Amino acid sequence: MQVMAQTQAQGTLLMNESMARYNSWRIGGKADRLYIPSSLDDLSAFLQSLDAEEPVNFVGLGSNLLVRDDGVRGTVVVLHNALNRLQMEGNLIYADAGVTCAKLARFTAKQAKQGGEFWAGIPGTVGGALSMNAGCHGGETWDSVHRVLTIDLKGTVHERNATEFVVAYRHVEMPVVNEWYVGAWFNLAVGDPEVSEQKIKTLLAKRLETQPLNLPNAGSTFRNPEGDYAARLVDACGLKGHIIGGAQISEKHANFIVNLGNATAHDIEQLIDLMRDQVKEKFGISLQQEVHVLGNKVGGAE
């Protein structure tokens, strides 16, 4: 049940809100508080109003997120459908953290910019793409980052150059803790809109052919180890199609876990552990999890 609460900020504050609406697996317990800001200034005002000890988590589309069944303590801030500014600023493209990657890809193509077509294959937001250096088909988000906007727990907005961040495959180390991305400027080369549009169409067709988009999922479960593919390793362990509860290792793509309709976070975590353990036992490779986990396990244990 959604209960509105009063705040000096102008956004939407919900109490004991189910997180199932805010992640692509469509599962998870309740957040103590969930806030949807009306603007960046509003988000700043809201953060300033919080107790210094309040746990805070930021969520975009929740497309790379597993929310545990026991829910999330503290406050969850949802940026999708909140921070959505997308525009040209000189030769740079500026995008708020709540802009979807698919929208950013189409915008870059229309602006005759090349190198951002791969974003069309990432089912998340700019904020999420920045936080994990999301990429596919040879492109990575931080390849074109010029500078970013972040916000801290006190509501202070910072503009930081890309050189302040340590960037690796599916990992970005921020220069300070307790800051979150709220926007970024991208520097892309001049391109041909028609060529970019065709690349996007080809990428989306391949995604539809190879990924189980008809069922709730969170994309790739594990990062690809160097020189190999997580899907190949999981498949070689004979795990494709394996079911625990209401969750299944996809029959279409072995690095995807799908919700068959009544999955719990516990079901999914059991499959994740099984995939990791079997690959380690058979190949001696330790798969690195790509899916971010939010909240405590049932009973409160991490």
Catalytic residue among 160, 170, 223, 232: 170
Long-range contacts for 223-228 (Cβ within 8 Å, ≥24 apart)?
223/169, 223/170, 223/287, 223/288, 223/289, 223/290, 225/285, 225/287, 225/288, 228/285
170 Ramachandran zone, left/alpha/beta (phi>0; psi -120 to 50): left
Q: How far is CA 236 from the centre of its chain?
A: 28
245 burial via Cβ count (<10 Å: 0-12, 13-18, 19+)? middle
Kindly report the number of other CB atoms within 10 A of residue 166's CB atom.
10
73 is catalytic: no
9 DSSP assignment:
S
159 is catalytic: no
Longest dimension (CA), the chain: 56
Please count the residues of the chain.
302
Three-state DSSP class for 36? strand
68 is catalytic: no
Go through 70-81 and write b for each residue having 16 or more CB atoms within 10 A of its CB, e for each that does not.
bbbeebbbbbbe
Catalytic residue among 68, 220, 269, 276: 220
Active site residues: 170, 220, 290
